[in-house]
Amino acid sequence: MSSTVAQPGTDGMPVFAEDMPPTGTYTISDEVAINESERLLTLNMGPQHPSTHGVLRVVLKLEGEVILDCDPIIGYLHRGVEKLGESHRYAQVVPWTDRTDYVAAPMNNLGCVMAFEKLCGVESPERAQYWRVIMSELSRIASHLVWLGTHALDIGALSMSLYCFRERELILDVFEAFCGARLTTNMMEIGGFSRPIPDGLIPQIREFLRVFPDRQKEYDDLLTANPIWLARTKDVGVIPAETAIDYSLTGACLRGSGVNYDIRKAMPYLVYDRLEFDVPLGTKGDVYDRYLVRMEEMRQAIRIITQCVDAVERMDTPLMAYESEYVIPPHKGTMTTAEDMQRHFVWVIKGISPPVGEAYAAVEHPKGENGYYVVSDGSSIPYRFRVRSPDFVNLGVLSHLAKGAMLADVVALIGTIDIVLGSVDR
């Protein structure tokens, strides 16, 4: 558009000669006469908004209550985890991953540690692998409980959040007994677990396994057939399978659309190939389908944990692959003999220097594929540390889903994508 022959039009906007029809009368339709910015209401949701699950900011263009345009803006919780990972020694990187998706910290640890193990060629012992599965499935339930509680709260079911956090507390108690921390667990170590499993942990987990299915039945009773819940979730935020693949969604967002891709089945890691479990799939890909998929995933997680606890109860094999030079030396002896203490001290201070190379490991995080890519240049600090966080990728579909939806649907859509801003922004 040239700026040479501009003259003011009736709506105050310049009218350009080349926009004029060559013949006939120049009429201005209502859409043009009223400036578009005056017809639409721009609503800024967030970063301080109770239902954007943290510091997500969404700029909405509304016509009445209908959304014409939705622009998610992220970065308010960016801490540079990737850069931090490139300036710390390998074992020191693991705690940073806690802070990405803090509602399922053990899963982040696991992905990171698996990438490091792949790089070093270390394999953790079988018993440690079972324990890793137990902890990651527990954190899957913990994460889904946060999702269910906040998602239901966004849609208006007030009590749900309290019920969900009540059960999550039991899981956090297990984490606390296992590693001492509840939220930022820093649970996994390269090579397995260096600390012994505390006594009474297995009965504690069994108690949770006993209690939880009944409690989940309560959630089912409150929501699954509730007409208001159905009205709010059915046919809302439909993601067809092709769209889900196009947006490279993973996790329940993908499986809710009926695409069967679960890393635990597609590329089994740890001992998942020895465990029996089903991957629930949705049909339509709406909010309700993803709700059902996640509810079923919790039931399957209970199945997996039960099998693992049964297996691990009789095992007395080591928890740590001490034979490898990349694994922290045993704590035992550091208090009594100088040699052990020195070895331990040197390992901790100098860290490990994996061979030159690169590795990518992905786990089936509660939110999708959580991948860790690490490049080693032979030094004790990763040359490149990259986190593929599932909800960052999944969030991409939000603006696609929100177009044409109602204002109240935005919170349902943010909830159904299941984001944690720590993980989105990293």
Partner 1 sequence: MNDQPLWLTFIFAFLIMNVLLIGMAYMTYFERKMLGAMQDRMGPTRTGPKGLLQPIADGIKLLGKEDLIPRAADKWVFFFAPLIVFVTAIVGAAVIPFGGTINAFGRDLNLYITDLNVGALFVLAFSSIGVYGIILGAWASSNRYSLLGGLRAAAQVVSYEIILGLSLVGVFMLAGSLSLRDIMLEQQTNLELGPLTVKNWFILSQPLAFILFMIAAVAETNRAPFDLPEAESELVSGFHTEYSAFRFSFYFLGEYISMIVVSLFAATLFLGGPSGPGSSDHWYLGILYILIKAIVFLFFYIWLRATLPRFRYDQLMGLAWKVLLPLVILNIVVTAAIRLASDGLLF
Footprint on this chain of partner 1 (rule: CB under 8 A):
41, 43, 45, 49-51, 62, 65, 152-159, 162-163, 166, 222-223, 226, 228-229, 231-232, 406-411
Sheet with 57-63: strands ordered across: 41-45, 57-63, 66-73
Shortest distance, position 424 Cβ to partner 1, whole Å: 19
Nearest to 148 by CA among 204, 229, 70, 205: 229
Q: What is the total residue count of the chain? A: 426
SS3 373: strand
Shortest distance, position 61 Cβ to partner 1, whole Å: 12
CA atoms of 3 and 7, how far apart (whole Å):
10
Shortest distance, position 220 Cβ to partner 1, whole Å: 14
CB 355 within 8 A of CB 99: no
Q: Which residues fall within 8 angstroms of residue 243, CB to CB, at 6 or more apart?
A: 257, 397, 400
Q: In this structure, what DSSP letter does residue 283 have? A: S
Our CB check for partner 1 shows the closer of 153 and 188 to be 153
Our CB check for partner 1 shows the closer of 270 and 405 to be 405
Burial class (CB in 10 A: 0-12, 13-18, 19+), 228: exposed
Beta-bridge mates of residue 63: 66
Peptide bond before 354: cis, by omega within 30 degrees of 0? no
Our CB check for partner 1 shows the closer of 65 and 310 to be 65
Shortest distance, position 151 Cβ to partner 1, whole Å: 10
Both tokens of 412, joined, read 């349902």
Shortest distance, position 401 Cβ to partner 1, whole Å: 15
Our CB check for partner 1 shows the closer of 41 and 202 to be 41
H or E stretch including 287?
helix 287-313
SS3 66: strand
Shortest distance, position 162 Cβ to partner 1, whole Å: 4
Shortest distance, position 142 Cβ to partner 1, whole Å: 18
CB 13 within 8 A of CB 33: no
Our CB check for partner 1 shows the closer of 196 and 227 to be 227
Our CB check for partner 1 shows the closer of 51 and 97 to be 51
Our CB check for partner 1 shows the closer of 49 and 274 to be 49
CA atoms of 214 and 222, how far apart (whole Å):
13
